[in-house]
Structure 1
């Protein structure tokens, strides 16, 4: 008669959670193994099978993860001879199972030899713990031993498992960087663009990002604020935001500052210090020329424009006013004369350099001639310089004396005409005429540009206040010839402009 081996299996189903989805199955106690009934073997029509195989499913396959245990061993074995039992645990679900525990009970009539994977009997039990059993995966275990007595060797296996309640959260680390860009050099009149670029080079969103910059003394935003505060908001990983702020400087100098950025969670970033040199061209002008000049000669001026600042002066334009009453205006170095203005386009004058030009003209009359030159350039204050020249004429008076009738008979009257002509370019003033009569002359009358009087043989005319250039003044003295002779009529003239008196003598022949 053949011998049969009966195998009993047990299982406990547990609650399982995977990821963010929860799978719950009804907890069921594993069914107790059915009692083994001894059945008298009956003659079989066919040979007995070579192995016995038993399968049991643990858990509700429709509701959650389930494990099937397959146990296979020889149908008959010889007393004392080793044989092997194979146990296979299979995950019948599409989710991963954790802590799958397979327990195999060692019956009293079974001599345990070895297990693969290794397991050590404890309290009549072999236990294997499979950390994870993937979806639809299987794990095989074997037990090798021998029967201690003739009869039935019956053992049971059960399995428990856990569907893990797993949830995950991503651990991120935002990381801020901040760069500040500014021009290395500007002019004082220029706007100063300040460029801020904040980036998140980390792995998570940076929240409530803020950029701040305290501007250096003397620099403000174009709108007047002393600080820069930019609300960036949230900044995703790998994203950058760029902002430009327009600033201005109140004076020349070096301006340095760095910016900072911050975000929730104590995130901070500092930019490198950004430096801008603010410069300005500073113009200076001088105008020199003769303080005095005589009429008929040209008046010349030299104009010097210098840049005393620390930046090049560009678009330099020099103008000079031309006074009225002049002619023959000549401007050097390409100066253009239009109306009452001479203009020079001097272009660029480097810091510490200067340019010189000249201008000249011919005054048409005596007087004081004053004019002003001014210069302007980009981002430079306009400056002016004036010069004045007093143009004086030259007084040159001519004294002429003639007798009307020469010779003259004794007893008759002779008239002497005195003429003063201003041949110069300036008025002659305070002109005085005095005539001396000889003994043979008897005073009769005096007339002319000013009133005259006679006393002691001298005729004196009142002073002539002014005689304009090219003008003439005439006086007459009438005398009576009293005795014959070669007589002389002597006239002297003085004026404010003359350094000494002028004398003129006219000879007349008195005959009897």
Structure 2
């Protein structure tokens, strides 16, 4: 029966495909049954984009939605097998046909295509329509296996008739998965990438900024990867003393309660205690460091450990330090005197182009609800290869150490302070900015942020005339300086200068900045066309001169155009000149 069905499918492809250029039929795998959890993403409010045309008019759109089931275990993927499949063509068929067949165990993919017999070309004039960006969201897997990864891909296509600029795509990371660090990207158009994070440093929203232009018909893609949300233990402990007050010579029972409030098992839990000199362990008075095995602690489980100590001198029971450690996560401490507790979070752009300003934000919080932190100082160490631009809140820049310092003073319980620093990258590469805050209570916390700077050729044209105004019969020279201000080399540089009406060409000159030889030029009517400059390296410049003679009184306008391989558009600069008799 399967062979008969296969034959019918093939025959249907051949017969129905007689009037089509290409037909594709595929048998897709069914969605796995029993999957109760899905990764859903896309649509308004989740995956959106804005863009403008070259005049600044703005539009916004949303993507389609995707839904992928999550499975704990997945089978190995099918391996393609080469199989001979019988193919029967109608005896009277004279249409040249190609057939491709691939089988995957119980699945069959067949594609047929007719070779066109005639090619025609028609040229028509179609007036430009505005840019129109279309978003199409997809995933690279039908199922998210918890031992694997899932990549979201957002394809954007300009279906309009004009270039699109400033495309801003935003996407929210679904709650029931985790973003895989450093998996975000954009192709083939380079863009800036920003990642918004929660207080717990979880990636929540990703933003791509593609400056453009994205020409009509062009398409690009942004993407990021997620994994299954890991189950983590979260331990906290409480120490109680019975009785609450003891005197020298008395014995007290120390009760340590350890609660796992997370959603994962804490494995290999141990209770470690350091006794101050005024106390001794009843079972072994010489032992100052105590260690107890607590085993595995399940989610929402509380484990209790009791031991007795004897007070041998004047001291405080709360000075007994109790520490919980586990094999698969962070432990906790309890029994310590109340102190301030600081956190620091540093964020910045994930990716930038050339010398765009790099702004990093530093947030310092005192998470204690009762104790202030005093004499706090924040120091931000800037990476090599950047130039300091500015700092908020009167931050002091130290050029010798390449650091910015803020004296933050006292941080009250629950207080949060925000500081920003702006730098300009001087080259492409990876830049890591380190921030550290210290307080008088001995607290030190650190964080860093890394930004990737992508290099790109970026040409700047400056132009001026030697005499303005100029008398009829006299000459003036237009000097054009072309500088590569990007971080990558420019190739295929061609400059054309259109001399004004009411003038006559006199001379032109330019010098190759590397060989020091003159750059050749030709004239065509009012145009002076310089030969192609093969290379203009990052930071280098080349100067062109064009001299003309004024033949009649009037307002002159000199026009210069520049093209190079790394930029699809033509740069144009104009210089007006006045004349008199």
What TM-score comes out, normalization by structure 1 length? 0.35
Look at both structures and tell me which one has the larger radius of gyration over its CA atoms. 1
* Structure with more strand by fraction: 1
